[in-house]
Every structure is written in C-alpha cells, then in structure tokens.
Amino acid sequence: MAELDTSSGGSHKKGPGVKKSPKKSTKVDLTPMVDLGFLLITFFVFTTTMSQPTAMQLNEPKPDPHNELEVKQSATMTLLLGKQNKIYYYNGILTDPNSQFKSSDFKDIRQIIVDKKKSTPSVDLMFIIKADKKATYKDAIDILDEMTICAIPPGHYAEVDLNDQEAKLIQQTEEANGIK
C-alpha cells in the first residue's frame, strides 16, 4: 500500500527504450461549469421573486345605523358561498319569484358576474356576498378576488352576514344535492 512506484516520474534519467509520456494540457473545458453556474443563478433568481407573498386590501363596511345604503332590487345580485366551493346566487330579493336562485361554482361564476355587470347600469350595480359558516376562507377571499378580476369598482360589492332564510335555503339545497 505505502509503496509507490516512483521510478518513471521522479528520476531524470531514463533508461533506453522508455517512452516519454506526452505532456498533457492543464486546461480544462469550463463550459459545463459555466452552464451549471448560470443554471443555479436562474434558479435562485426565480425562486426568490416567486415566493414573495402579496397582500390584498380589504375595506370592511363601517356599520352605521343612520346611513344604510339603499340598493336597487333589479341591479343587485346576491352571491352565497356554501360548502365544497359551491356558489349560490339570486337576483334582487329572495322571496321574489323572479329571483332565480341557482347554484354555480368558481369556474362559471366569472361569466355570471360579467353578464350581470353588462346588463346593469354601472351606477346601480351591487353584488352582495354572503358566506355560510362552513364555507372556507379560501372561497371568501377568492370571491373578492373575482370582483377585482371582473373590475367591479369598490363600493359596488359588500360582504354581509347571512340571514336565517338564506342559511336554511343553502342547507336544503346542499342536502338535496348530497353535499356534506
């Protein structure tokens, strides 16, 4: 183990017939190393900018019993958030037979919001968002985000508490559709 053959490399004298080994260049091709370096740089640059959390501003309505906002029935759409990312919606007042209580989900709701926005004068337009107790936090944020995406101006949508009648209706619909 410890013995090394130093006869060929160490001595200057070379016996006859010993071939001179050709001198190899010490230059190494650095191209792969450069590739690797830049790959890592791009990786770090992308990951650092992507993970930046953003903040969404929420402005809650100030409860003011003397100054209740009046909205037009015909221009109002109420969005109810239920379990399993379901959205129920109706126009105007729930007791009105023309209110068209329907169910939807986050895929289709954008088109419904946009249609409502187009068919209503923008001054009167109002979306009322009500979330059921068992709706998820994600849905509550997503629907507000949807308002931003559909460019509904602030003040034309509001988050309000669910009333008993609506809670009952959601419960009935969920039971009928087997949503737990």
Binding site for another protein (CB under 8 A): 29-31, 33-34, 37-38, 40-41, 44-45, 48, 50-63, 81, 110, 114, 131-142, 144-145, 148-151, 153, 161
Q: How far is the CB of 61 from another protein (least distance, A)?
A: 7
Helix pair 137-149, 109-119: axis angle to 10 deg: 40
Query: One-letter amino acid identity for 93?
Result: I
Q: Which is nearer to another protein, 29 or 68 (CB)?
A: 29
Q: How far is the CB of 164 from another protein (least distance, A)?
A: 15
Q: Which is nearer to another protein, 13 or 107 (CB)?
A: 107
- Rounded Cα distance between 18 and 142, Å, is 81
- Rounded Cα distance between 63 and 76, Å, is 20
Q: Which is nearer to another protein, 6 or 54 (CB)?
A: 54
Q: How far is the CB of 41 from another protein (least distance, A)?
A: 5
In 3D, which of 170, 175, 180 has the Cα closest to residue 103?
A: 170
Q: How far is the CB of 25 from another protein (least distance, A)?
A: 11
Q: Which is nearer to another protein, 119 or 148 (CB)?
A: 148
Judge contact between 124 and 60, C-beta under 8 A.
Answer: no
Task: Please compute Rg for the chain using Cα positions.
Answer: 35
